[in-house]
Amino acid sequence: MRKQFNRQAIDAMEQRFRVNFINSLSGFKSANLIGTISKDDKSNLAIVSSLVHLGANPPLIAYINRPASVPRHTLDNILETGFYTVNHVSEDMIPSAHQTSARYDVEISEFSATGLSEYWLADFPAPAVAESNLKIAMQYVEHHTLLNDTVMVIGKIECVEVSTDAVQEDGLIDMERLQTVAVSGLDCYHRPNFVKRMAYAKTDKYPQSLK
């Protein structure tokens, strides 16, 4: 049975119910760890499910950082140093990656607290995650404070480290091969299975699958 939940019904939801419900609406999301370090050498690692592609040339990715009303070591470090890493979460990393969302004090590195290992790309000043099968070195470009005080952080891709056998002939990266997971809601993890790949859509042709 289909049901409509209007604004009054949403506003009347119990708080935790509403958080789960509204967080589900954006569908399946990518699971990534953002690695940073402060000027005084304290590393930080935070899971985000809000990564979004902005463009391929120049190569730009954005993510949404929580409002200023809660501690934001990740954003503070990015604005201090100008650099960060984005690391895909694979299935075996789920427990430790999720654990980075606990509210650790700024003195405690989520790397050591969760058992994930720092990995330093040559000449790059922010720590990546050794266990991740796809690591991206990012340079901060700009940020926008949005109406609910969340912050959209935009960065330029400086370097990507990935297994070459996951990079297909036409550039598409096979994320099932990397065992990258998807998130729904706040805390639900999934392994996507390939259904089909569609050809570039043209107005004069019926939709075609590539394979």
Applying the rule CB under 8 A, the residues between 168 and 187 that interact with its own copies are 168, 170-173, 175-176, 180-182, 184-185, 187
Comparing CB distances to its own copies, the nearer of 39 and 197 is 197
The 3-state DSSP class for residue 54 equals strand
Residues 6+ apart with CB under 8 A from 70: none
Q: How far apart are CA 11 and CA 15, in angstroms?
A: 9
192 scored as a contact of its own copies (CB under 8 A): yes
Q: How far is CA 115 from CA 38, 85, 92, 102, in A?
A: 20, 18, 12, 14
Single residue of 60, 80, 81, 177 touching its own copies by CB under 8 A: 60
* Whether the Cβ atoms of residue 137 and residue 157 lie closer than 8 Å to each other: yes
CB of 38 to its own copies, least distance (A): 19
* Whether the Cβ atoms of residue 51 and residue 61 lie closer than 8 Å to each other: yes
Comparing CB distances to its own copies, the nearer of 68 and 188 is 188
Residues 122-151 close enough to bind its own copies by CB under 8 A: 134, 136, 141-142, 144, 146-148, 150
CB of 61 to its own copies, least distance (A): 6
CB of 39 to its own copies, least distance (A): 24
177 φ, ψ to 5°? -60, -35
Residues 7-36 close enough to bind its own copies by CB under 8 A: 7, 10-11, 13-32
Beta bridge partners of 56: 59
39 scored as a contact of its own copies (CB under 8 A): no
